[in-house]
Amino acid sequence: MSQILNLKSSHKPIKLYYQELAKLQEQGYQNEGELRGVFDELIRYSCRQFEWLLVTETTLKFNNKNIRPDGIIKRGIFQHGIYEAKDNQDKLQAEITKKFKQGYPKNNAIFWSPERLIIYQNNKLIFDEKIAKNADNLILGLRRFFEYAEPEIEAWEKAAEEFGQNVQPLAEGLLKLIDEQSQINLNFINAFNNFVTLCQQAINPNISEKAVQEMLIQHLLTERIFRKLFNNSDFVNRNIIAAEIEKVITTLTCKSFNRDQFLGNLDYFYNALENAASTVKDFSEKQAFLNQIYEKFFQSFSQKTADTHGIVYTPQPIVNFMVKSVNAILEKEFNRSLTDNEVKILDPFVGTGNFILRVMREIANPPKPPQPPLVRGEFNSPPSKGGLGGVNYPSQGGGKLYLPNKYINDLHCNEVMLLPYYIACLNIEHDYYELTGKYQPYEGICFVDTFELVEPNVKQFSLFTPQNTERVQRQKDAPIFVIIGNPPYNVGQINENDNNKNRKYEHIDKRVKETYSKDSKATNKNSLSDVYVKAFRFASDRIGDEGIVCFVTNNSFIDNIAFDGMRKHLEEDFDQIYVLDLGGNVRKNPKLSGTTHNVFGIQVGVSINILQKW
């Protein structure tokens, strides 16, 4: 929504801007690199008012060209504008013309020199004034730049606010329709009952009919988003789970229900979403946009699901760090790399796919060979398996030759919630297309509960569809070498209406009880029921005789007494453990703020944990 930049000539940032600039010029500093830092600070101050971000010196793809502006102002997931700085020696207009020939955007671009400020918006010059010793012109220009909003983005932000007001009554109307058809529509009754049976086999034997109904509604309300946002008109046919759900939806629509007419009240939201998405050029930003839509959908449609499932995504810098750390440890400790055929990878809780996406990019663009050669350091390392020569260092860009084989055979992941499953499929397939130029269905993702896979009776069932069952079996047969991801964090929930809460798992619960719980001296061991604890137990067993587990989790296991048995077994199960405690436990320290002192903006503390076994 439109915001007002609160900036006056009497304000300290404006006074400091002119004072610092004068000092630098008096001491003979005249070129852009020496002076632009003063303007950077003024831009940052303005960004903070709106909780926006200034990103300096980064490459941006615009109209299929790589450009590198001095600064990009990020408005959440959207790009608000760019800025370029020049010194007084430059002919500013000539420099601007040169930048536009290089492909720089004109939708909201600010060009600064100590003497002059020029702004382009909507492909037009809208501001060109002298600012030396003229604070009023400087402030006017900054306000024109910061208070501008592309109509598509403003419409999206307004529609997103109103979305919650519309989606809930629509969902209730769909539930009412499903209830009615469950009484009179024989085709729907049969299709729905079959679908419930599939969900009970693949997701949770205790899943309720209401939870399955919610899955149908999720599909109905969002499949247009997937078709339009990704320009994938064939989504419901290509995706094996969406195709199965469409069979049930078809039995609803064959009577009096008209899907497009029923969803007509959301046209405003859908249109605003699609128009806003058209302004997002970079696909990684489009993925972030889709995550934001997902969060808004769940907060509006099912607050309970959002709260208990933890609809919180791993910040990209953490994902980057974890993937790069795993690759570095593979090379240093195992003389392998992510490109090796022996390194099969599993994300057991894939969400919308961020970890698999980052692994794919690391494989496609591997690091250059180290100079000087790698030397084993102070780690308690296994015997050498061939020395440095055993590590695969493809030439830069050559990693794309490895990606097709890894994509088809070695990258596995699971998801139990419908919408993130859809999003992960689309994200991963589209990223593969971006990296290779070829579309290839991603068959490494399973719509399944990871903990269900180790239950003794899982082989008796068909897991949703024949294709999904085949994928699950291929994953079970794979000798997984790396497990990476972000397990859910929740404790004490056993609700039959939830897809994947802390329900009872015969095998995993038994393993936790006979190891972590048995060797704990604590009286209260309820914390050992947390999903992330089960994730550690699962990964420790699944990884086999050697490999790496890399999780970002709740950090309570580090020093809480209830986890003493868990710590003991992690030490016994693994040969080397790194724990990076990121702190952020707001509950223990109320002085902290979840949004500013916690990497996820949540209440519980967080740690990155890398465990190695050889």
Residues 69-99 have pLDDT tens digits of 999 998 877 789 999 998 877 788 888 999 9
**pLDDT confidence of 557, banded at 50, 70, 90?**
very high
The C-alpha atoms of residue 9 and residue 488 are separated, in whole angstroms, by 49
**pLDDT confidence of 592, banded at 50, 70, 90?**
low
Judged against a pLDDT cut of 50, whether residue 266 lies above it is answered with yes
Residues 211-243 have pLDDT tens digits of 888 888 888 877 877 777 666 677 777 888 888
Three-class SS of residue 463?
coil
State the span(s) of the chain assigned CATH 3.40.50.150.
Answer: 318-367+411-613
CATH code for the structural domain at 12-149: 3.90.1570
Torsion sign, CA atoms 445, 450, 454, 457: negative
Cβ-Cβ contacts under 8 Å for 489 (sequence gap 6 or more): 310, 530, 531, 532, 553, 554, 602, 604
Instruction: Report the CATH superfamily, name and number, of domain 318-367+411-613.
Output: Vaccinia Virus protein VP39 (3.40.50.150)
The C-alpha atoms of residue 245 and residue 253 are separated, in whole angstroms, by 13
Mean pLDDT across 249-257: 71
The C-alpha atoms of residue 102 and residue 93 are separated, in whole angstroms, by 14
Under 8 Å between Cβ of 582 and 555: yes
**pLDDT confidence of 391, banded at 50, 70, 90?**
low
Mean pLDDT across 38-45: 94
What is the pTM (predicted TM-score) of this model? Answer: 0.74
- Of 114-123, 305-314, 463-472, where does mean pLDDT reach its minimum? 305-314
| Residue 601: C-alpha distances to residues 89, 119, 558, 580 (Å) | 46, 35, 20, 17
Judged against a pLDDT cut of 70, whether residue 397 lies above it is answered with no
Cβ-Cβ contacts under 8 Å for 11 (sequence gap 6 or more): none
State the span(s) of the chain assigned CATH 3.90.1570.
Answer: 12-149
**pLDDT confidence of 455, banded at 50, 70, 90?**
confident
Judged against a pLDDT cut of 80, whether residue 422 lies above it is answered with yes
Under 8 Å between Cβ of 272 and 155: yes
- Mean pLDDT, the chain, integer: 82
What is the DSSP track for 395-430?
A: PTTGGGGTHHHHHHHTEEEEE-SHHHHHHHHHHHHH
